[in-house]
Amino acid sequence: MGGKLPDYISAPVEELLERYRGGTVVLLDHPEHRGEKFFVPTWRVAKGDTVEGLFVRGRRFWMPSKEELVRVWPGDASPFQRELGQVVYTVVPDFGYRRSIDLGRRPDAFEILLGTKSLDESGLFAPHEHIQQANVRQRLVAGRWFFEALYALVGCGLYPMEGYRALEALGEPAVDLARKNPFLLTQVSGVEYAALVARYRRRDPVGDLLQRLKEAYEGYGNTAVLWSMLGGDLAPELLDSVEGQVVRYGDYVGLARYVDLECEVWENVGEASSLHPLPPSPDLGEDQAEAFTLVRHRVAVLTGGPGTGKTHTVSRLVAAAKNAGIPVALVAPTGKAAQRMQEVAGLPAQTVHSYIGLKPHDPFARTRVFPKGLVVLDEASMMDLHTMVAVLRSLPAGASLLLVGDVDQLPPVQPGQPFADLVDRVPTVRLRRVRRQADSSSALLEAARAALMGKPWREVISGEPRDLLYHRVKDPDEAHRLLQVVVTYYLKEGLSLEDLQVLTPIHEGPYGTKQLNALVRSVAFPKQVGRGVELADGTLARVGEKIIFGENRLALGVANGTMGVIEAVDEAEFVLRSKEEYRPLPRALGQQASLAYAITVHRAQGSEWPVVVLVLPASALTTRRLVYTALTRAKVQAVVITTENLLDEPLPQDRRRTTWLNAVLGRR
């Protein structure tokens, strides 16, 4: 860890040179980089716009060190103004996107946000928009503390989006930290050490330490890091300068805010509930019947692979609880998982966020509690630490939370793995026997289990199974040609794009979501005509196209991961069809979405499709659990297009996450 920092670049676009599927190559008007080419990961860039971000020198171009940290600003708006408008829209969506951006450009923006200038005299709302104005006023009064804190952080030299991320992660204490030393905020995703070094024109060992620790979290999902892994050039005395922000126990160090979350999980799972064991259904096996005793505990786990009877067991358990007069709540991390559980259990199910009112990007949100009864949380392997803590805080004394999931699937993208860490550390029932006849003879699931155990596929493929097609390719061109053939075949067979999903481990490169989305789109929609919705990368998505959202906008009925098809587009709105529901949305909201023909395997968790096409390149992310997770997303058939020799060679082991729960708390 450590080494040369990326270069912080902020300069106007002098000339557009060429466009690629993933972005645009430009020349920047920068005194130190005359004539040098920069790759900007978007098509939405024009001459005169300002490009800002961290770049590293590549073979042909200067490349972003992190794409999400590269920003492009219109020529008539400063970076600060644009960011402030984005923060306003994120926190107070009632303003509307365009009005938020306009507010960000005004010199009196903070006067309006802090209430020293009234909305009535701001001129932002027309007379007929009094209801919307009243909603905004109510939100601003409730969130005055947030904008006061943001104003203070901006005064310390942070950009608005950096301040927003700091407040989202740390709350109001972020202000005291910034006043003490702004480099203390480099522990927050979105506040980068190299950017602060360039802005403040100095290096800071505290910021360097926190950046390295953050990268260990973000890169590997760890929440407990061996001190020796951070680099031998760090002095142990630095820990005195980050007291309260970094915790050390033995050889491990961790960011205090994550350690606090894991400690809260650990302290809230060991109690008993007030429920008594329920009578099991006579059609259940002995291991399934054991799950009916789990309701005695505040938190318990039911885990097993596909076909082992988790869903059937849960449906019988829910029925038994209802018959006993016990209140039942069914929740899941995603809308599709909740819908599937509702169909099986015959009771309403919701996403975790909608049930308890959890809004990760809303600092004013208040959560509500679950009923004092049985709470079943399906697809629990997807739960991150923040959401798991929110669920436990909403669980009343005496209630029982049953976490249901497959512990062999991928952990959440965010640091930590609370579900996997709780398996066998709380009362756990493991279902191991495959019960469904169709699944017991499925080559698809046999290959999934073989991948998980590190076994080659030759024996599975030798039987020429109908539900699993495997093809090894030599290069990206061959992979692209084959994918075109596969997509064309299924579309001609009458399969809709909603029932066909391409999965890949990565976003970038010829095997990444960006290029694969463009490829599938060229097959499905060879002619791009009609009014479109502008997406995050500048793509215009038209009627019939499948998109997926990357942000929570729960007030509009959209969450991170919501997938749907565009049904209509007019000047102000577009209609999204998702789960057979038709939802009108503002066109500006499209800028928080992307094409969804190809998505990452991580994002696919909790969902299933009749046909899955897995594009599998040689990558550090191509591991046993990833392939297992991808194949188990297919209900009927999977097509694997890969550069790897899966017939004869096992996949590499998954990197084990080291967390405070499994390395420290669970061993005390």
In this predicted model, what pLDDT tens digit does every residue of 380-402 receive, in sequence order?
999 999 999 999 999 999 999 99
How far from chain centre, in Å, is Cα 429?
A: 28
Q: Which residues of 110-124 are buried (b: 16+ CB within 10 A; e: fewer)?
A: bebbeeeeeeeeeeb
pLDDT at site 205: 93
Same domain, 471 and 545: yes
Q: Using one digit for the tens of pLDDT, what is the confidence trace for 103-144?
A: 988 899 999 999 999 888 888 888 888 888 888 888 888 889
- The residue whose two tokens read 């030393």 is 181
Same-domain pairing of 588 and 522: yes
Domain stops at, among 43, 73, 103: 73
**Do 411 and 451 belong to one domain?**
no
State whether 481 and 574 are in the same domain. Answer: yes
Residues 405 and 310 in one domain: yes
One domain, residues 528 and 554: yes
Higher pLDDT pick, 469 / 99: 469
The whole-number average pLDDT for the span 92-100 is 79
* Mean pLDDT value across residues 607-617: 93
Query: What's the alpha-carbon Rg for the chain, to the nearest Å?
Result: 26
290: Cα separation from own chain's centroid: 34
Contact at 8 Å (CB) between 379 and 605?
yes
Q: Are residues 408 and 288 in the same domain?
A: yes
Domain that holds residue 403: 271-431
Going by C-alpha positions, the residue among 400, 401, 404, 407 that lies closest to residue 421 is 407
Start-to-end CA distance of the chain, whole Å, equals: 30
- 346 CB contacts (<8 Å, ≥6 apart)? 315, 318, 319
Q: Region 193-219: what's the mean pLDDT?
A: 91
Residue labelled with tokens 């971000």:
53
* Lowest-confidence region among 506-515, 579-588, 656-665: 579-588
Q: At a CB cut-off of 8 Å and minimum separation 6, what does 118 contact?
A: none
Report yes or no on 601 lying in a domain. Answer: yes
Which of the pair, 375 or 307, is modelled with greater confidence? 375
Spatial distance between the Cα atoms of 290 and 1, rounded to a whole number of angstroms: 47
Q: Could you tell me if residue 113 is inside a domain?
A: no
Burial 324-338 (b: 16+ CB within 10 A, else e): eebebbbbbbbbbbb
**Using 50, 70 and 90 to split pLDDT, how confident is the model at 246?**
very high
Q: What is the pLDDT of residues 400-424, one digit of tens each?
A: 999 999 999 999 888 999 999 999 9
Asked if residue 403 is part of any domain, the answer here is yes
Q: What is the pLDDT of residue 437?
A: 44
Angle, helices 144-155/79-91, rounded to nearest 10 degrees? 160
Q: Which of 234-238, 367-371, 432-436 has the lowest mean pLDDT?
A: 432-436
Q: Are residues 278 and 405 in the same domain?
A: yes
pLDDT tens digits along 164-197: 999 988 989 999 999 999 999 999 999 999 999 9
**Residue 264 counted as domain residue:** no
Count of other CB atoms within 10 angstroms of residue 102: 17
pLDDT of residue 436: 55
CA–CA distance, 465 with 467 (Å, rounded to integer): 6
Average pLDDT (278-291) is 90
The rounded distance, in Å, linking the Cα atoms of 540 and 528 is 9
One domain, residues 385 and 449: no
Q: For position 349, what pLDDT does the model report? A: 87
Where residue 398 falls (left for φ over 0; alpha for ψ -120 to 50; beta otherwise) is left
Helices marked H in 324-431 — which ranges? 335-345, 352-356, 385-393, 418-422
Residue 609 included in any domain = yes
Q: Are 454 and 388 within one domain?
A: no
634-642 and 581-586 beta bridge pairing? unpaired
For the chain, the domain total comes to 3
Q: What is the mean pLDDT of residues 366-391?
A: 90
pLDDT of residue 478: 94
Could you tell me if residue 102 is inside a domain?
no
Query: Mutual orientation of helices 256-267 and 385-393 as an angle, nearest 10°?
Result: 40
For residue 333, the 8-state DSSP code is: S
Whole-number pLDDT of residue 591: 79
State pLDDT tens for residues 478-492: 999 999 999 999 999
Q: What span, in angstroms and rounded, lies between the C-alpha atoms of 593 and 545?
A: 12
Determine the distance from the C-alpha atom of residue 490 to the mean position of all C-alpha atoms in its chain, rounded to a whole number: 29
Q: Is the pLDDT of residue 653 over 90?
A: no
E runs forming strands in 178-284? 225-226, 246-249, 252-255
Rounding to the nearest 10 degrees, give the CA dihedral for residues 176, 182, 188, 191. 140
Of 31, 51, 73, which residue sits at a domain end? 73
Name the least confident of 91-95, 371-375, 509-513. 91-95
CA distance 616 to 626: 10
**Of 24, 43, 73, which residue is a domain's last?**
73
pLDDT at residue 551 above 80?
Answer: no
CA 361 to chain centre: 13
Is residue 366's pLDDT more than 70? no
Query: For the whole model, what pTM was predicted?
Result: 0.80
- As a whole number of angstroms, the distance between CA 316 and CA 279 comes to 10
pLDDT at 290 over 90: yes
- Do residues 331 and 385 share a domain? yes
* Whole-number pLDDT of residue 414: 87
322 within 8 A of 328, measured Cβ to Cβ: yes
Q: List strands edge to edge, sheet with 328-332.
A: 349-351, 328-332, 374-377, 400-405, 299-304, 428-431
Position 578 in a domain = yes
Name the pLDDT band for 281 (thresholds 50, 70, 90). confident
CATH (domain of 523): 3.40.50.300
Amino acid present at 392:
L
- 404 and 281 belong to one structural domain: yes
Question: How much is the pLDDT for 368?
Answer: 83
The answer to whether 607 and 334 are in contact (CB under 8 A) is yes
Hey, which bits of 58-118 come out as E strands?
62-64, 71-73
| pLDDT attached to residue 1 | 47
In a domain, 97, yes or no: no
